[in-house]
Amino acid sequence: MRVVLPVAVGATAIALGALAFGAGAARIAEVSTGPVGQRHGVADDAGKYADDNGVITGQTLAALGMTVQRWTLLFDSANPTAISEAAFLDRALPVARSHRTEVILSLFQRGSAAPDATAFCAWAKTVAERWPQVRRFVIGNEVNALRFWSPQKLATDPDAGPRAYHAVLAACYDALKAVSPQTQVIGFGFAPRAVTKKSTKPLAFLRKVGDLYRASGRTAPLMDAIAVHPYPNPNAQPPLPPGRAGYQDPDYFGIPQLDRVKQAAYDAFHGTAQKTPADGLSIVVDEVGYQTDTATNGQYTGDEVSPTVSDAEQATYHAQIVALYACDPLVTDVLFFGLYDERQRNADAFSGGWQAGMLRPNGEPKESFDAVRIAIAAGCTTDPVRWVPLGPA
User: How far is CA 77 from each of CA 13, 109, 117, 127, 141, rounded to the nearest angstrom?
Assistant: 35, 7, 11, 15, 16
Provide CATH code, domain 22-378: 3.20.20.80
Smallest CA-to-CA distance from 189 within 70, 86, 33, 59 is with: 70
Which DSSP category does 116 fall into? Answer: P
The percent of residues above 90 in pLDDT, for the chain, comes to 85
- Report the predicted TM-score, pTM, of the whole model to 2 decimal places: 0.91
Assess whether pLDDT exceeds 60 at residue 33: no
**C-alpha to C-alpha distance for 393 and 379, rounded to whole angstroms:** 31
Bigger pLDDT: 380 or 306?
A: 380
pLDDT of 36 strictly over 60: no
Q: Where are the domains of the chain?
A: 22-378
Task: Tell me the residue length of the chain.
Answer: 393
Residue 338 preceded by cis peptide, ω within 30: yes
Distances (CA, A) of 358 to 316, 332, 354: 12, 21, 12
188-197 pLDDT, tens per residue? Answer: 999 999 989 9
For CA atoms 239, 243, 246, 248, give the dihedral sign. Answer: negative
Find all residues with CB under 8 Å of 98, minimum gap 6, and list them.
58
Instruction: Give tens-digit pLDDT for 217-236.
Output: 999 999 999 999 999 988 88
Provide the pLDDT for residue 32.
33
Cα(339)–Cα(356) distance, integer angstroms? 8
- Where does residue 10 fall: left (phi above 0), alpha (psi -120 to 50 degrees), or beta otherwise? beta
CA 107 to chain centre: 11
Which amino acid is present at 71? Answer: W
Higher pLDDT, 186 or 8: 186
pLDDT value at residue 352: 75
- Tell me whether residue 15 is exposed, middle or buried, using C-beta atoms within 10 angstroms of its C-beta: 0 to 12, 13 to 18, 19 or more: middle
Helices within the chain (DSSP H only): 11-19, 46-49, 55-64, 86-98, 117-130, 160-179, 202-216, 258-269, 311-326, 367-378
Phi, psi of 383 (to 5 degrees): -65, 145
Query: How far apart, in whole angstroms, are the C-alpha atoms of residue 38 and residue 33?
Result: 10
